[in-house]
């Protein structure tokens, strides 16, 4: 199976500018392509991970990726998918984030056969009037305003700095074509308008045909973006999202999403995944466990995946505790007059971000301790109850946390 067939069969491809041309390039040539990563945080998240999976598919077929770190574009901020303007980061913050990205990417990408670039190296050196004269005439404001990334912001306000983002991303493609003969840009489907801008700019300035391809966004069957929890994004950095929490996120995906996630995010043979499409009920729990294990192994390690699997089976299978489940160790400073109350305990363990949220969880019947439902948010626990034992707090149906002294 060719890489083009693999990507299509797994449902990774969303849109293409020239399907026949792209198919020929991927099946009969060695192509240099690029994917951009704006350095907006100090860690990649699961949305980025889908892009890294695509890069791995492409590299295995002999194609060369350019990992473009948006040290220039991040200074402007992509308005795509945002109702408000992104926070303005300093150059030092952006450079630090970009370095973190490269370190994480090296775990998934064959860096010996990849090109790493930072678009700040050329975008920050451009002179404004010269750039306007060079590429400004290639962009129609009327056409730009029809792009989804801009339309969604017009009602609440689109700043002029953000309006330049499409031009900057398009200029990236032109620069990479000129310097690396890069002939394809890949990105999430929400980048379609920006990718079309780059394809058109290369055609106008270089009279060359280049291609763009977007891949499927990681969403639930209802169309909501995956990789978000009440505590925020699911990060690839274990200090921001622990391997256990990472495992549990995928173990708890909806029945209707697990097969699609296996196709998009893992290298489990597509034939095996397609055989699971008829699974129902408890069989899907096996698929969820496979999904969680494979992703945790790739993102973290086999050891972390084994520990998370053992902990999940112990807790969900028998209700027992596991040494590998999330644990908070209390100190004597956490107790007042020899006791700790329910609200403080939930905030201390991170199961609630605030006392108000902790109170709501208890009042709505969402908290159990040692399999006993807690109904009083003001209940207290003396330090003696922790001296020789632990307590297992259960939040909802799927979140377990051990507390020790």
Catalytic residue among 229, 329, 336, 404: 229
Which run of H or E residues covers position 229? strand 228-229
Q: What is the Rg, in whole angstroms, of the alpha carbon atoms belonging to the chain?
A: 24
Residue 395: active-site member: no
CB 399 within 8 A of CB 245: no
Residue 32: active-site member: no
Q: How many CA atoms lie within 13 A of 374 on its CB side?
A: 26
Residue owning tokens 């995906």:
253
Catalytic residue among 23, 180, 225, 240: 225
Catalytic residue among 10, 17, 31, 48: 48
Closest by Cα among 334, 346, 310 to 383: 334
Residue 127: active-site member: no
Q: Where are any strands of DSSP class E within 78-210? A: 115-118, 184-188
Task: Enumerate residues 6+ apart whose C-beta is below 8 A from 391.
Answer: 369, 370, 381, 385, 402, 403
Catalytic residue among 8, 9, 21, 82: 82
What is the distance between the alpha carbons of residues 339 and 221, in angstroms, rounded to a whole number? 46
Residue 107: active-site member: no
Residue 229: active-site member: yes
Catalytic residue among 21, 23, 86, 395: 86
Catalytic residue among 169, 191, 214, 216: 169
Strands 115-118 and 64-69, by their bridges, are: parallel
Residue 169: active-site member: yes
Residue 190: active-site member: yes
Catalytic residue among 18, 228, 359, 390: 228
Catalytic residue among 40, 59, 327, 328: 40
Residue 397: active-site member: no
- Taking CA atoms, 341 is separated from 171, 303, 359, 375, in Å, by 58, 36, 11, 13
DSSP string computed for 245-276: HHHHHHHT--TTTHHHHHHHH--S-HHHHHHG
What is the distance between the alpha carbons of residues 374 and 21, in angstroms, rounded to a whole number? 62
Catalytic residue among 10, 17, 31, 45: 45
Residue 86: active-site member: yes
Residue 63: active-site member: no
Task: Enumerate residues 6+ apart whose C-beta is below 8 A from 281.
Answer: none
What is the distance between the alpha carbons of residues 334 and 383, in angstroms, rounded to a whole number? 10
Catalytic residue among 95, 134, 189, 190: 190
- Taking CA atoms, 37 is separated from 109, 182, 188, 222, in Å, by 14, 16, 11, 26
Active site residues: 40, 45, 48, 82, 86, 169, 190, 225, 228-229
């Amino acid at each position: 199976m060719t890489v083009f067939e693999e990507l299509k069969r797994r449902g990774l491809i969303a849109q293409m500018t020239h399907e026949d041309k792209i198919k020929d390039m991927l099946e009969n040539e060695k192509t240099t392509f690029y994917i951009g990563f704006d350095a907006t945080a100090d860690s990649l998240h699961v949305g980025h991970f889908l892009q890294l999976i695509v890069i791995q598919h492409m590299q295995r077929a002999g194609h060369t990726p350019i990992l473009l770190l948006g040290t220039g574009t991040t200074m402007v901020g992509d308005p795509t998918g945002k109702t408000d303007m992104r926070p303005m980061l300093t150059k030092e913050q952006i450079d630090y984030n970009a370095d973190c990205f490269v370190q994480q990417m090296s775990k998934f990408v064959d860096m010996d056969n990849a090109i790493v670039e930072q678009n700040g190296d050329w975008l920050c050196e451009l002179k404004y009037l010269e750039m306007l004269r060079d590429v400004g005439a290639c962009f129609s404001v009327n056409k730009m305003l029809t792009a989804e990334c801009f339309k969604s912001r017009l009602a609440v306000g689109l700043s002029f700095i953000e309006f330049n983002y499409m031009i900057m991303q398009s200029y990236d493609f032109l620069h990479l074509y000129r310097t690396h003969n890069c002939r394809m840009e890949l990105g999430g489907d929400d980048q379609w308008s920006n990718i079309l801008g780059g394809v058109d700019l290369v055609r106008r300035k270089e009279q060359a045909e280049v291609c763009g391809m977007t891949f499927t966004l990681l969403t639930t069957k209802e169309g909501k973006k995956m990789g978000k929890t009440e505590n925020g994004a699911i990060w690839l950095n274990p200090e921001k999202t622990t391997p256990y929490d990472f495992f549990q996120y995928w173990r708890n995906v909806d029945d209707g999403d697990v097969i699609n996630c296996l196709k998009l995010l893992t290298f489990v043979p597509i034939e095996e995944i397609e055989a699971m499409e008829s699974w129902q009920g408890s069989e899907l729990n096996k698929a969820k466990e496979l999904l969680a294990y494979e992703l945790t192994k790739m993102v973290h390690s086999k050891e972390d995946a084994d520990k998370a699997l053992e902990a999940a089976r112990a807790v969900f299978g028998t209700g027992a505790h596991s040494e590998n489940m999330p644990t908070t160790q209390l100190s004597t400073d956490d107790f007042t007059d020899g006791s700790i109350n329910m609200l403080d305990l939930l905030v201390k363990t991170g199961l609630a971000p605030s006392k108000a949220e902790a109170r709501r969880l208890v009042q709505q019947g969402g908290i159990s301790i040692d399999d006993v439902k807690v109904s009083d948010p003001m209940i207290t626990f003396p330090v003696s109850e922790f001296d020789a034992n632990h307590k297992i707090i259960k939040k909802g149906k799927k979140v377990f946390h051990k507390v020790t002294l």
